[in-house]
Structure 1
Amino acid sequence: MRTIIKALVGAAMLAGLAGPAGAQTQVPQTMAQAKASFAPLVHRVTPAVVNVYATRVEKMPRNPLMDDPIFRRFFGGGDQVQPRVQRSLGSGVIVDPSGYVVTNHHVIEGMTEVKVALVDKREFEADIVLRDPRTDLAVLKIKGNEPFAALDLGDSDALEVGDLVLAVGNPFGVGQTVTSGIVSALARTQVGVSDYQFFIQTDAAINPGNSGGGLIDVNGRLVGINTAIFSQSGGSHGIGFAIPSNMVKVVVASAKSGSKAVRRPWFGGKLQSVSSDLVDSLGLDRPVGALIASVVDKSPAAEAGLKAGDVILAVDGQQVDDPDGFGFRFATKPLGGAATLTVLRGGKKLSIPVKLAQAPETRPRDTLTLKGRWPLAGATVMNVSPAVADELSADIGYDGVVVSDVTQGSAAAELGLKKGDVILEVDENKVKSTRDLEKLAKPRQYYWKLVVQRGGEVLTTAVGG
């Protein structure tokens, strides 16, 4: 690192000598300045960055041939069930001295056992306290009573393009590694790794295994969780993405409160981007903001008086460039009170307060995994409510039964059912609840007629028995 900095210093001196007369180039004035190093900062932050080792042990089904005594006589081993172990490796950051660790959800997804290793080689078992696939974040709790080194969460909204940052993690499993760079861009969208498309972009080298590691500012504060790289080869090409710390704060607060799910405010409106074709008709000078396409009855948006055609330009004074930007700004607001939206309506700007409240669960979700010999076997379904629709990020009504998961290899998976599909009818019987759907499972028959809503379209199909 010092060699690199000295090289940069040398380059700056040469640039100053060769530059135009009067150029204000800053060069080191003392030996201490020439030996500038990130080492003190690294010594302070690395004890709080951990390696995360996650595993899941599955028992493989016994081969039916082993039921034949002659087969067992010749090949043996019939009574031994070989377990299959799946492993995942990543990084994490301790954000509380009591042992709360933030990592990426994809690092521990589907895993049942987790260990963390500190920079001093000590290892601890950890519990998975909260999983949040919507943000690709998860919170662990180290099993131990001792105080741990922890990083303070910084304000990611205070970052500016050009700020120096360090990325700390465990790339390729080689051990803890520190890389440096700058903030290359803010509010990056269309990255595709979570529901909330709003990322810090950095040119600090991020490689596989860095997932869940920390993006650190020059004051030693955690400003992001490294989550993705843009690369066709799998290596770092100077384009990495981190989840802003202001979203991390929301997830950590929910975990500390004992909640199994992140508690976020519900807006209750469908948004779309402002296209260049709509700029003039909306009274804008450029395509910016989030256009309200529709508003849900009795939602905070409806109660605030927001209407289709309104354009949201800011949340509590923070500019909104598109629907993803609004989603992040609104989701990171604490529950209770209100957020003030700057809205353009009919060419006039209005300040409209919107209540920060959770989506209501108007009826029990009554989660049920369907079984039996019929096309829907293997689908996990829930009764629909505003809370369920918001949780699944599904654009659906609030009546009927929604698919929340599909077991791999099941009849429902072969049928093509997906998370977020709404089952409306089976054999011309309307489905109003999960128990109604369960009762419609019949013995094997020639075919089933299904009506399913997906992404605003209603699909009707006949499935053979």
Structure 2
Amino acid sequence: MRNFSFLGWPIVTGVLIAVILLQFFPNLLAPPVTTVEIKETQLPTNLIGQGLGNGPVSYSDAVQKAAPAVVNIYSSKKVEEKDNEARANDPLFRRFYENGDQPQRQRVRSSLGSGVIINSQGYIITNNHVIAEADSIIIALHDGREAEASVIGMDPETDLAILKIKMNNLPTITLSPSENLRVGDVVLAIGNPFGVGQTVTMGIVSATGRNRLGLNTYEDFLQTDAAINPGNSGGALIDANGNLIGINTAIFSKTGGSQGIGFAIPSSLAKKVMADLIEHGRVIRGWLGIEGQELTPSLAESFDIEMTSGLIIAGVYRDSPAHKAGLQPGDIMVTLNGEPVDAYQSMLSVADLNPGDTLVVEYMRNGKKLNATVTVGERPPTKLN
């Protein structure tokens, strides 16, 4: 009995301590729980539905503002075709052909596209490939009127062309600087896809400054996921306020239809091309007179130089601005007017200069950095196949 009393008190005491601990710490014997931390925020009730980034319920106001200035373009070209050679070589038919000439027949090759009326004078901007080599160009307006267009100027290097029609009370569109665009901005594409009639599609700006696509000589495309299909070429890409921000030009597609990757020429570039074609009949671009190759890490290693960007001068045209400034093949251009040289963007920057402007070129020759002041010339016309 004494032994039981000796052992019982510690047991009772332990039980009492355990009961007290469980009362104050009920989760003491519960299995461990993994806590997931999540940060959340809620808009105040008065801001629900009005948060930053929320667009309007409808873009009809923007469409009504811009759509009347977007036109359908129907171009046609007469093509001479030789008749079936097998028939022409058949003795029964050969006697009808004089001097062995094969018969020729004429057919009309038609294409369609879109354009945008820029001002009340009747100037229309579109893609060069929409009207290239066309014998006849018919413009169909949104209000049902039609007119024959004349070609004012063409610039295959940006794939832009300017047409003109003679008509009164023309609807026009307002341009907006494309430099202000941001990735994620809402855009609308207006055109005549597949000839079904004027159509509006919506998307966002997917990217800006797209180049090296192999589409044009000068590329600075806006990329959008707004549906662009054959027939949309030359049509308008507008912002949510109905202002023109680009000319729809091309799609990236494996099927020929829209796959969410479309390209538009930004309005700022289109504006310069349009002004030059109307005023001068050609696009005036700055020119240095060099042929260059981008400096890659492997080329930099072969030259034994530590540079991450630059342009290797592969050739210099005789009597060109670069030649007169003393630049030579093998020189590596490092900066232009203090800005690091990027093989493609620098070409666009030089093209934007006016003939007669001066440009300070920093370059490397035999491991030494040198400077040259180049007086920019006018880029001669390029013969395209």
Taking structure 1 as the reference length, the TM-score comes to 0.62
How far apart are the structure 2 equivalents of 1:331 and 1:236?
Answer: 32
Q: 1:93: how far off?
A: 1.3
CA spacing shift, 1:270–1:29, aligned 2, 3 Å: closer
Deviations 1:179-235 (A, max 9, x none): 222222222223222222332211111111111112223444333221111111111
Q: What residue identity is the alignment partner of 2:298? A: D
User: How many angstroms does 1:136 deviate by?
Assistant: 1.5
1:258–1:197 distance in 2 versus 1, CA, 3 Å: closer
TM-superposed deviation, 1:282: 4.3
Q: Aligned letter for 2:357?
A: A
Q: Does the CA-based 8 Å contact 1:183-1:201 persist in structure 2?
A: yes
Q: Give the drift of 1:247.
A: 2.8
Correspondences of 1:250-265 after superposition (within 5 Å): 250-259=272-281, 261-265=282-286
Pairing 1:104-123 to 2, within 5 Å after superposition: 104-123=127-146
Query: Deviation of residue 154 (structure 1)?
Result: 3.4
% same residue? 42
Match of 1:192 in 2: 214
Instruction: Summarize the Cα distance change of 1:314–1:44 in structure 2 as closer, same or farther, 3 Å threshold.
Output: farther
Aligned to 2:294: 273
Distance 1:208 1:315 in 2: 42
In structure 2, distance between residues paired with 1:221 and 1:353 = 40
Residue matched to 1:299 = 320
Call closer, same or farther: CA 1:227–1:34 in 2, change over 3 Å.
Answer: closer
Residue 65 (structure 2) aligns with: 44
> What is the CA–CA distance in structure 2 between the aligned matches of 1:355 and 1:85, rounded to whole Å?
48
When structure 1 is superposed on structure 2, of 192-201 and 288-297 the one drifting more is: 288-297
Aligned residue among 332, 344, 352 for 1:332: 352
For residues 293 and 24 of structure 1, the distance between their equivalents in structure 2, rounded to whole angstroms, comes to: 59
| Aligned mate of 1:248, from 270, 288, 303 | 270
Superposition pairs for residues 399-418 of structure 1, below 5 Å?
none
Structure 1 residues 355 and 156: alpha-carbon distance in aligned structure 2, compared to 1, 3 A threshold: farther
Give the alignment of 1:345-364 within 5 angstroms: 345=364, 354-359=374-379
Whether the 8 Å CA contact 1:315–1:329 is kept in 2: the answer is no
CA deviations 1:296-335 (Å, max 9, x no partner) are 2321223345454333555786x7532x3222222233x3
Q: Is the 8 A contact 2:192 2:231 kept in 1?
A: yes
For residues 316 and 55 of structure 1, the distance between their equivalents in structure 2, rounded to whole angstroms, comes to 49
Q: Structure 1 residues 61, 238: CA separation in 2 closer, same or farther (over 3 Å shift)?
A: closer
Query: Partner letter of residue 265 of structure 1?
Result: G
Match of 1:178, SS state, is: strand
Give secondary structure in 1 for the equivalent of 2:170: coil
Q: 1:222 aligns with which of 244, 247, 259?
A: 244
Amino acid at match of 1:167: A
Structure (1 or 2) with the larger CA radius of gyration: 2
265-274 vs 187-196, greater mean Cα deviation: 187-196
Q: Is the 8 A contact 2:201 2:226 kept in 1?
A: yes
| Aligned CA distance change for structure 1 residues 222 and 328 (closer, same or farther; 3 Å) | farther
Contact 1:28 1:34 in 2 (8 A): no
After superposition, residues 12-411 of structure 1 pair within 5 angstroms as: 20-22=39-41, 27-29=48-50, 36-58=57-79, 83-142=106-165, 144-259=166-281, 261-279=282-300, 281-284=304-307, 286=308, 288-307=309-328, 308-313=330-335, 321-322=342-343, 324-333=344-353, 335-338=354-357, 340=359, 343=362, 345=364, 354-359=374-379, 387=380, 391-392=382-383
> Matched residue of 1:36: which SS?
coil
Query: Greater relative contact order (Cα 8 A, min sep 6): structure 1 or 2?
Result: 2
Contact residue 315 and residue 326 of structure 1 kept, 8 A: no
* Separation in structure 1 between the aligned mates of residue 222 and residue 56 of structure 2, nearest angstrom: 29
Q: Report SS of the residue matched to 1:327.
A: helix
Give the structure 2 partner of residue 376 of structure 1. none
Structure 2 unaligned blocks of 5 or more: 1-37, 94-102
Q: How large is the Cα RMSD of the aligned pairs?
A: 3.6
Q: How many residues align?
A: 330
User: Quick one: structure 1 residues 187 and 342, their matched pair in 2 at CA, closer, same or farther if it must change by over 3 Å?
Assistant: farther
Contact 1:155/1:223 (CA < 8 Å) preserved in 2? yes
Q: Which sections of structure 1, spanning at least 5 residues, go unmatched?
A: 1-18, 72-79, 360-386, 393-403, 405-418, 420-465
Contact 1:343 1:349 in 2 (8 A): yes
In 2, distance between residues paired with 1:300 and 1:83?
49
Check the 8 A contact 1:139/1:255 in 2, yes or no.
Answer: yes
Aligned-residue offset at 1:258: 4.7
CA deviation profile, 1:340-385 (whole Å, cap 9, x unmatched)? 45645479998865433324xxxxxxxxxxxxxxxxxxxxxxxxxx
Tell me: CA distance 1:343–1:35, structure 2 relative to 1, closer, same or farther (3 Å): same
For 1:84-131, what per-residue CA distance to the aligned partner results, in whole angstroms no more than 9, with x for missing partners?
A: 111010111122221111111111122110011111121111011222
